[in-house]
Amino acid sequence: MATDNHTKTVTVLEIFLVFLRLGFTSFGGPIAHIGYFRQEFVEQRKWLDEHAYADLVALCQFLPGPASSQIGIALGLSRGGFPGAIASWLGFTLPSAIALVLFGMGLSVMGNTLGDQWLHGLKVVAVAVVAQALWGMGKSLCPDKLRASFAVCAATTATIFPSSLGQITVIAASALFGWLLLRTSTALPHNLIQTTTSRITGMILLSVFFLFLLVLPLAAAGSGSYTLKLFDSFYRSGSLVFGGGHVVLPLLQSQVVPTGWISNDLFLAGYGAAQAVPGPLFTLAAYLGAMSSQSPFGWPGAGIALVAIFLPAFLLIAGTLPFWEHLRRYETMQRAMLGINAGVVGILLAAFYNPVWTSAIRSSADFSLAMVAFLLLVFWKCSPWLVVLLAATVTGLGI
């Protein structure tokens, strides 16, 4: 029975409905999403075995972009081809994307009525959420002196050079650090998720990924079109960020705030609200596209930004799967992955300082509220949406 399930093709509608339910219920960030997916597709539905799932997780952790969404896209691809991949992405992404766009529209109408203090509460809780991510990722990804020291060096570099180029440099140095100085203690499993994508198709998809990365900035600059600039900014954000949702924060901030598309207060308010919804944090792009000061904004802007930031995930996961079985057997690749993980912690640490901390913590009351939120998230295991609601209420009422 299990073997049949491993090879059974399911309908696109079934794929969509399964991921839609996960999109409504998967709170807790990418690591939690990986746990939800494992329970659903390995233990219950038996779409793949434990080794194949571990292999897929390793691949998605190595690629830039949203790891949990890439896992979902790969699972949909394996069960229903490219229509299945689109269905899995839509099901997992739409609930949080729609919720965040509606939040932004409500914010435009009621923001002044509710007052700046209510928005400030969302920024304060963002401090606690990023601190929680640092707490967990630091323990698992930097368990020794060498990797912890490198993470601090990466954080220092990303703080001094808070640009996309600075982050890319950190990632490249992280890979080199892992390759030269780290050793893997265990071999990764070699069972690969089933896919009908050929190597030729994979090469085409990877070529399209790099072509867009090179051509879009030139097209956006040459045409002067805001639509192209919007698509290019979010495409590059989805292409160049390693480590998932929290690490995309400074990259997105550098794309939309200095250009005047959105204010820093609205940016961090959306980031705080994104903690209250399930699904991938990359859906913050929908909120940013909807809240842009230039046209297209609203639902069209949200759709452009959302497609642009997730398109690299489609191209990379579908293009890489046919080659992954051979690439991941090399020990040098595994060592580079360990180094990149340590660098990700450093980038997150830099983002924790600026803009999250510097924009949110203005007083001893803010610091106290952030500590309480951290306590509730880490030790009391409260749901993020509940902590967000509590922080917004406390600051909104001036308590």
Alpha carbon distance 6, 19 (integer Å): 18
Joined together, the tokens standing for residue 286 give 């929908």
* 4-35 pLDDT, tens digit each: 455 566 899 999 999 999 998 887 677 678 87
CA dihedral 250, 252, 254, 257 (to 10 degrees): -120
Alpha carbon distance 336, 186 (integer Å): 14
Identify how many contiguous H helices and E strands the chain contains and give both numbers.
18, 0
* 204-232 pLDDT, tens digit each: 999 999 999 899 989 988 888 899 999 99
* 96-141 pLDDT, tens digit each: 999 999 988 887 665 545 455 666 777 788 788 778 878 877 887 8
Alpha carbon distance 131, 370 (integer Å): 9
Query: Which band of pLDDT confidence, cut at 50, 70 and 90, is reported for residue 399?
Result: low
Angle between helices 67-114 and 298-327 (to 10 degrees): 160
The amino acid at residue 141 is L
What are the C-alpha distances in Å from 143 to residues 66, 148, 389? 23, 7, 33
Rounded (5°) CA angle 204-63-4: 75
Q: pTM of the predicted model, to two decimals?
A: 0.71
Alpha carbon distance 112, 2 (integer Å): 56
What are the C-alpha distances in Å from 148 to residues 80, 266, 352? 42, 33, 16
Q: Which residue has the higher pLDDT, 266 or 35?
A: 266
Cβ–Cβ under 8 Å, residues 313 and 68 = no
CA dihedral 243, 245, 251, 254 (to 10 degrees): -160
